[in-house]
Chain A
């Protein structure tokens, strides 16, 4: 059973650029959630995907978008990067969208300069 893997682990981008972060869910998990964690803060919910459909969204602007693929892997896309987008981006998969334990990846640390 493979765990949740995220790529890349670190990334440096310039303000205004676009970035795509990737998450491979744990085997058998059809639900994935993305979180943004600024330094010294708790994670903030970005959105959740269930069976390729968005299933809930936090207070993030439309330039944060996502996709979930038929194999339940997922992407987070951020357009027009801003300095405040610098953070650790975490994804977590779960067995279903019900109340089931979350399995987190190690995150992608994004730095916007």
Chain B
């Protein structure tokens, strides 16, 4: 079993829909990262969080440390949100040995 599990693996939705991507992990962590990867390969860091909730524009990330679970929400989804979303956890202070999920491929249809 992977230390970081994401669901769903693939998600297709209509423009405007509310999107939720889930991440569960089995190890103790000091921080969790949500990343966005476009087809060219480049990765953009969306959030880094260790507790509670963060919001940036239409994106919201939450984490429940006790349940070892995090969610990434996208409100009013748009075709430009189509990408692979990756959850990664840092087991200790310092980002070394980040462990990544395999990603959720999101496709937003106009």
Contacts and interface: CB of A to CB of B under 8 A. Distances in A.
Of all A-B residue pairs in the complex, the 3 with the closest CB atoms, nearest first, are A56-B96, A42-B100, A104-B43
Question: Which one of A35, A37, A43 has the greatest number of beta carbons of chain B within 10 Å?
Answer: A43
Interface residues of A, number: 30
Contacts, number: 80
Interface string A45-82: 10010000001101000000000000000000000000
B70 interface: no
B102 A42 contact: yes
Interface in B82-110: 86, 88, 90, 93-103
Interface residues of B, number: 27
A99 B102 contact: no
Contacts of B7: none
Contact of B97 (A56, A100, A101): A56
A105 B97 CA distance: 18
B98 A45 contact: yes
A42 to B, nearest CB: 4
Given A99-B30, A99-B93, A99-B94, A88 B41 contact: yes
Nearest to B43: A104
